[in-house]
Each structure stands twice: as structure tokens, then as C-alpha cells.
Amino acid sequence: MSLMATSRQAPAWPHADKADKIGTPGWSVVLKITYALSLGLFILFVLRTVELIRHAPMIEHVQVVGAFQHIHPSGLAQTLTGVARGSILSVDLDQVRQVAMQSPWVEQAWVSRVWPNRIDVHLIERSPVARWGHAGFLSSLGEVFYPQAADTTNIVGLPELDGPVGQENLVMQQYLGMNALFKPLGLRIASLQLTERMSWVVRLDDGVEIRVDNTDTFNKLQRFVVLYRQELQGQMDRVESVDLRYLNGAAVAWKP
């Protein structure tokens, strides 16, 4: 007797295909409704924002904030008030900042809204560390700026630096290095000039002039330090100039 194995297939669910086909249009409707609601909410948000901007309070006050020695906050605030047109929401803060930065004494500026009708202009004032040329000043960042002469009458005691255009940072760094060498000797630099031929002219506050070229400058200045300690100290009132533009040694010119 032989046994024959028979396989049974799982019964198919009735109308399964029909159920899938019925479900498809349902999801499409849900997506359309969701899209329509999202679009409606977005349009409502835009309309509400426009309405809010239209009815926002107008700018009535501009306040200049910071610690100042040379900036006149009331005058600058009056100038900026003419630029800060519009409401608290529509005012162009970047334009206000750009106008504030036009002041030669302003190093940094940022602007903020203060509800309901004020904007604050925060400023950092430039700090002059040296004079530059005939009418300019050099800031602590090595930037040259040209304030009005009336705003500089109380600035005294700064060294006078000068040099070709684009060499401001080099002159500033060289001044700091030379000052570090001379200060322990009790010598003060009154002026420092970088010539067009890239040589240095140093004038001390006692009138003595020191000349050195741009080749091996630091070592040549060290040579002056040694010369000062061994020979010139106590005699600087008789010295007119010292020339260090030699491979070895230096030339001292004495007053007549």
C-alpha cells in the first residue's frame, strides 16, 4: 500500500485584493486634506505677520550705548534717528549699523530692537595708540583712521609713526619691538618712520636720531643697546644721531 502526500494551500482571504484597492484612494484623500490644511495655515501665518508688521509701533528712540572718550553719543543718536525709519519690525538694522560704522571713532557696532519703539546701537570705540602721518591715528588693531581735528585736541603723548601705504601693521609691530628694547634703557621713542626704501628712522624724545636698515634689524638694534651701555650712557645730550646701517659697527654723529 502506498501513501500519497497531499499539500494543502492556505485559504485565500476573500476579497483581499478588493480591500487593498479600496484603501488606496483613502490615503490619497488624507494627503490632500493634510496639504490643504498646511497651505491654509501657512497663508494664515503670512497674513498675520503682514498685519503685525503694518500695525507694529514706529521707532521713536535711538539709544547709543558704550563707554566713550571721543564719540558724542547724543549727536550720533540724532544722525541715526534719521536712518532708523519704519516700525520696530520693519526698520533696517543693517543700514543703521553701516551708518554708525562711518564714524571714524567706531571700531565695532551692532544694533538691537527694544520693544516697543526703540533700537539700541552698541559701539566699541577705537583706542588710538599712535599718531600716523600728519592727521591720522593708529588703533590698537593696527588700523589707520582719520578723525576730525577738533576731536583730537586732548590726545597727547602718543608716538608718531609713519610709512608707506599698506605697511601700518609692520610699522606698529616694529615700534613695539623697538620700544621693548629701549624702555629698559630709559629711552623713549618719539617717532618711527619706515621710508620708501624700507629703512627705519627712529627719533628719541631727547632728539637723538637712530637709523637702521631692514636687513637684520633686530641684531643691529641690539648692537646699539651694547653701544649705549658701554659708551653713550650719560652722553646722549651730546649725540646727534647713530647710524646702524653697517655690516659691523655703528657711526655716531656728535653735536657741534
* Mean pLDDT across 19-39: 67
Count of domains forming the chain: 2
- 148-196 pLDDT, tens digit each: 988 888 899 999 999 999 999 999 999 999 999 999 999 999 999 999 9
**What is the structure's pLDDT at 6?**
44
Q: Residue 247, class by beta-carbon neighbours within 10 Å (0-12 exposed, 13-18 middle, 19+ buried)?
A: exposed
- Alpha-carbon torsion angle 109, 112, 114, 116, nearest 10: 120
Instruction: Tell me, yes or no, whether 239 and 148 share the same domain.
Output: yes
Q: Report if residue 2 sits inside a domain.
A: no
Is pLDDT of 103 > 80?
yes
Residue 52 pLDDT class (50, 70, 90 cuts)? low
Q: Report if residue 239 sits inside a domain.
A: yes
Q: Report if residue 6 sits inside a domain.
A: no
Q: Nearest Cα to 196, choosing from 179, 213, 218?
A: 213
Q: Nearest Cα to 198, choosing from 161, 171, 169?
A: 171
Instruction: Tell me, yes or no, whether 149 and 114 share the same domain.
Output: no
Query: 209-236: buried (b, 16+ CB within 10 Å) or exposed (e) per residue?
Result: ebbbbeeebeebbebbeebbeeebeeeb
> What are the backbone dihedrals phi and psi of residue 86, each rounded to the nearest 5 degrees, phi first?
110, -165
User: For the ranges 18-32, 91-105, 107-121, which has the lowest average pLDDT?
Assistant: 18-32
Is pLDDT of 221 > 90?
yes
Q: Which three cell numbers stand for residue 197?
A: 626704501
Q: Report if residue 217 sits inside a domain.
A: yes
Instruction: Tell me, yes or no, whether 151 and 107 share the same domain.
Output: no
Q: Report if residue 210 sits inside a domain.
A: yes
Partnered with residue 97 across adjacent β-strands are none
Instruction: Tell me, yes or no, whether 250 and 146 share the same domain.
Output: yes
Instruction: Tell me, yes or no, whether 138 and 107 share the same domain.
Output: no
State which amino acid sits at residue 42.
Answer: F
- State percent of the chain over pLDDT 90: 69
Contacts with 246 (C-beta within 8 Å, 6 or more apart), sequence order: none
Instruction: Tell me, yes or no, whether 120 and 132 share the same domain.
Output: no
Instruction: Tell me, yes or no, whether 117 and 221 share the same domain.
Output: no
Sign of torsion, CA 236 241 243 248? negative
Instruction: Tell me, yes or no, whether 109 and 173 share the same domain.
Output: no
* CATH number of the domain to which 205 belongs: 3.40.50.11690
Instruction: Write down which residue in 125, 142, 163 finishes a domain.
Output: 125
* CATH number of the domain to which 71 belongs: 3.10.20.310
Instruction: Tell me, yes or no, whether 136 and 238 share the same domain.
Output: yes
Which own/partner pairs from 31-36 qualify as long-range (CB within 8 Å, at least 24 positions apart)? none
Q: Which helix (H) or strand (E) holds 255?
A: none
Instruction: Tell me, yes or no, whether 183 and 199 share the same domain.
Output: yes
**Structural domain of residue 250, as residue ranges?**
128-254
Q: Report if residue 35 sits inside a domain.
A: no
Instruction: Write down which residue in 125, 143, 165 finishes a domain.
Output: 125
User: Residue 112 has what DSSP assignment?
Assistant: E
Q: What mean pLDDT is reported for the chain?
A: 86
Is pLDDT of 53 > 80?
no
Residue 3 pLDDT class (50, 70, 90 cuts)? very low
Instruction: Write down which residue in 74, 105, 125 finishes a domain.
Output: 125
* Mean pLDDT across 106-111: 97
Q: Report if residue 32 sits inside a domain.
A: no
Q: Report if residue 20 sits inside a domain.
A: no
Instruction: Tell me, yes or no, whether 162 and 234 share the same domain.
Output: yes
Given a contact cutoff of 8 angstroms between Cβ atoms, the answer to whether 91 and 59 are in contact is yes
Q: Residue 108, class by beta-carbon neighbours within 10 Å (0-12 exposed, 13-18 middle, 19+ buried)?
A: middle
Instruction: Tell me, yes or no, whether 138 and 227 share the same domain.
Output: yes
State which amino acid sits at residue 242.
Answer: V
Residue 209 pLDDT class (50, 70, 90 cuts)? very high
